[in-house]
Amino acid sequence: MLPKSYNPSESENRWYSLWLASKMMASQPSDRQPYSILMPPPNVTGILHFGHVLNHTIQDVYIRWNRLQGRETCWFPGLDHAGIATQTKVEQELKKEGKTRHDLGRDAFIERTYEWKEKYGGIILEQLRRLGNSSDWDRTLFTMDPSAVDAVREVFIQLFDDGLIYRGKRIINWSPLAQSALSDEEVVFKEVREHLYTLKYKLSDGSGELLVATVRPETIFADVAVAVNPRDERYAHLIGQTVVVPLSGQHVPIIADDYADPTFGTGVVKITPAHDPNDYEIGLRHNLPMPQCINADATLNERAGAFAGMDRFVARKAVVLALQEAELVAAIEDYTHNVGFSERGGEAVEPYLSDQWFVRMQPLAEPALKAVQNGEIRFYPEHWVKTYEHWMTNVRDWCISRQLWWGHRIPVYYAPDGRWTAARSEEEARIKLALPEGTQLVQDPDVLDTWFSSWLWPMTTMGWAGEKIEEMPEQSRRLFDYYVPTNLLVTGPDIIFFWVARMIMATVRFGGRVPFRDVYFTSIIRDAKGRKLSKSLGNSPDPLDVMSKYGSDAVRFTMIYLAPLGTDVRLDIDVKTQDIPSMELGRNFANKVWNAARFLQMKSDGLFDPSTMSVGTTPSSDSDESERWIISRYHSTVAAITEALAEYRITEYARTLYDFIWRDFCDWYVEVVKVRLNVAANDEQRRAILSVAFGIFEGALKLLHPVMPFVTEELWHGVFGTDETSSINVTSAPVSNSTYIDHNVEQRFELLQSVVESVRRQRSDLNIPPSERLPITMNVPSDIADIFEQQQAIISAFCRASTFDVGTGLNKPSGSVADVTRGVETFLVVEGRIDLEKEKARLLKEAERLKGLMKGLQGKLDNPGFLAKAAPDVIEGERKKLSDWTAAVESLERNAATMG
């Protein structure tokens, strides 16, 4: 017999250990149909957050579901070396010791970083096991494992030799703290309140001045022009003249460019190509020089004269003060705008003109774009295709170099004569450059962008080391041909360009095929106020703490239940306690299923043993309409769930299953079973009833297993007595049989349910306690009288009837209140139990109270101001409230009307 209550922590630890020991999650190519997923490799510095919970639960649902389908499933796990994030962690440790990486030297620092990785790098993988991931952990790949290192080097060399990698100057995101370029993904934009300074630029001929607006006066020492819009009549006569840059004394031209916005500031902008990405593009268009006035450490350089050596923000104040003293400031206004900050260091990112390595993206983008446009790769939701197309048709070259020590070092060697080449070794570089043996070469000190190893993920996970596909070792080639294209990639839309697009490019070019068939873009997780989860807002609880309180299954189920495709997830988060009450939904559901199992066990004790007797989901010889109804509902549910999962309507999967198990099976059929067992003529009939009940329950457990693996495993073993070396996940998935789907039976029983629920509401409205039984009469239409007559015992039990009369043409009994549900009249005899006149007055008073509330709420919903400012879920909640109150008023007035 199952324990009285479910203990998630004990169950989760025990079953996961058994899954690992049984190698249930391991996979090898076989004669079965493959199903594979590539795990987006979490950063080696990563700690589990709710984005991971949603993403990995979705992946696990599909792995477990397809394992139940009998497919050879493999979920390829891994870890990303996370260049700048990891180096920052290690440098922080060194700082505590009073050291820098330069004190250690490059080789010793890299060795120290590997030590850090071995100590802390596996934390997130352990946390994912806690979540229930059924990954093939033996295939875990680290992006700096030897085979991955080889692949990265080979791809770089091939692209270099093909002319697709080059070195050049570009404006990049620069981290003054890390002294490195940053990818766009490593930049977080925040709203910052600063000042907009309007400065006076004197015309060189002394005839006047131009007022120029800027938020960065400290960069005036690198100004090379001022720009006006060619259609701005105020300045058309000045185009081609020159102005004097304040403080620096430089004479720079007035140019015409569409970038200048006549409606912003004065319509005149200063052009500083080395310190602004938009100005850089203008500089290219007009062939302007690109001097720099800010150093790599964010201090001003010698071009700034007396301000040289100052930090950029300190210099800003000093420059403004000097401009004011020279009477060159026309105005200073408050100005709020978005500023990029380093995700790791937290400092403001500096747009910086720098020598970097780039990949030419256009030749790689064209075939990758076609793969999505022709349907080889499908996006869910589909609207992301438009975003993908726009980016791929306007793709920019990719800056791949980073000024770090931790990562894949760029395989480029420089000769004394200034030439360079990409090579596997210094010796090979000398050969490629035709240099004498012994010539000393210097390897580029930079490393590659972390994404440069991640874009090869679909191939490196298969053991590919950069060779031609036909030259891969036999075992790796077999993996590649069997599992690639993988079936599904689950990821966030924020990295559609950084990762998804680049994986398609790389796999098509080097693997000759697409990397995956379907891409599921997850939702953004927000709190009830619509804010993204973040530690700074205090609305980002630790998932491990939440799982400890509610259980991993509860967290998994709730996240899926609340995450419709393409819609943000809203979680009710208590900032003070760091609790998520929303998770009650999943925990209550797990408890509901557990209690249903215990009920079946208690009713079958000594009568039916599901571990030795056959169970089924087909009608028994003595089946009645209630049994045919639950069997039909079961097969309808299996069909709906199978379709929902195939179309990635994963929330629909969870909600369909929730409704079937909670309402149809637990709230209704379990109670039906109780009544049927009581009225059954003999034990043979009782065993037949229990056989179907257990059969439906086992099927429901299998349907539920992908999203709630632990409790379903516990119940499957606890109820059906299976060997612990086996698992529910390696049985077979339920299959819908349309023969047993009877929509007419479902509709008839649904009417019966509605009538019973109407009686229950009526009892509640009249404040009749559940323990008190009352006489009930039902007058039903002749075409459905048979089901009500056949199910008299069930209806009587559900409605708490002391006596129950059902038939056609029956009259309203004396002292009763009436209700009508879809043609069925119900009469509840309440005479002597309540004062009808007093109760009627109470009901009407409550109806009037609700009408008053409805009037105020309707006014709120008719207010355009409220509709414009309120969050969509708040508006929807208010509309739901109005609908509920309307239904309540109708019920109250209907009941009152039957009291004379």
CB 775 within 8 A of CB 812: no
pLDDT band at residue 700 using 50, 70 and 90 as cut-offs: very high
What is the percent of the chain where pLDDT is above 90?
75
Q: Which region among 187-201, 284-298, 498-512, 608-622 has the lowest average model confidence (pLDDT)? A: 608-622
Tokens of 687: 């065993």
Are the C-beta atoms of 87 and 755 separated by less than 8 Å? no
pLDDT, averaged across the chain: 92
Q: Which of 23-37, 525-539, 804-818 has the highest mean pLDDT?
A: 23-37
Q: What is the pLDDT of residue 900?
A: 64
pLDDT of residue 824: 86
pLDDT for res 169:
87
The answer to whether the CB of 553 falls within 8 A of the CB of 590 is yes
Alpha-carbon span 761 to 783, nearest angstrom: 25
**Residue 18 Cα distances to 22, 352, 719, angstroms:** 6, 54, 18
The predicted pLDDT at position 67 comes to 97
The band of 245, judged by pLDDT with boundaries at 50, 70 and 90, is very high
- The highest-confidence range among 336-350, 373-387, 573-587, 823-837, by mean pLDDT, is 373-387
**% of the chain with per-residue pLDDT over 70:** 100
The predicted model scores a pTM of 0.85
Residue 833's pLDDT is: 82
Confidence at 664, pLDDT banded by 50, 70, 90: very high
Mean pLDDT computed over 887-894: 80
pLDDT digits (tens, 9 = 90+) for 285-320: 999 999 999 999 999 999 999 999 999 999 999 999
Average pLDDT of the residues in 31-37: 97
Condensed to tens digits (0 to 9), the pLDDT of residues 82-106 reads 998 899 899 999 999 999 999 999 9
Q: Which of 374-383, 464-473, 560-569 has the lowest mean pLDDT?
A: 560-569
Q: How confident is the model over 365-388, as a mean pLDDT?
A: 96
Per-residue pLDDT averaged across 541-567, rounded?
92
223 pLDDT above the threshold of 90: yes
* CA 554/CA 813 separation, integer angstroms: 48
Of 835, 764, 843, 756, the residue nearest 801 (C-alpha): 756
CA distance linking residue 486 with residue 34, whole number of Å: 9
- Please state the three-class secondary structure of 744-802 as a single string: HHHHHHHHHHHHHHHHHHHHHHCCCCCCCCEEEEEECCHHHHHHHHHCHHHHHHHHCEE
Q: Helices in 355-506 by DSSP H: which ranges?
A: 362-373, 384-393, 426-432, 451-454, 457-460, 474-483, 502-506
Joined together, the tokens standing for residue 627 give: 């049994």
**pLDDT of 841:** 86
Give the pLDDT score at 729.
95
Which pLDDT belongs to residue 839?
75
Q: Parallel, antiparallel, or unpaired for β 251-256 and 268-271?
A: unpaired
Question: Residues with Cβ < 8 Å from 22, sequence gap 6 or more?
Answer: 725, 727
**pLDDT-based confidence at 537, cuts 50/70/90?**
confident
β-pair type (816-821, 801-807): unpaired
Per-residue pLDDT at 345 exceeds 90: no
**Token digits for 149?**
């290192």
What confidence tens digit (pLDDT) does each residue in 716-732 have? 999 998 788 889 999 99
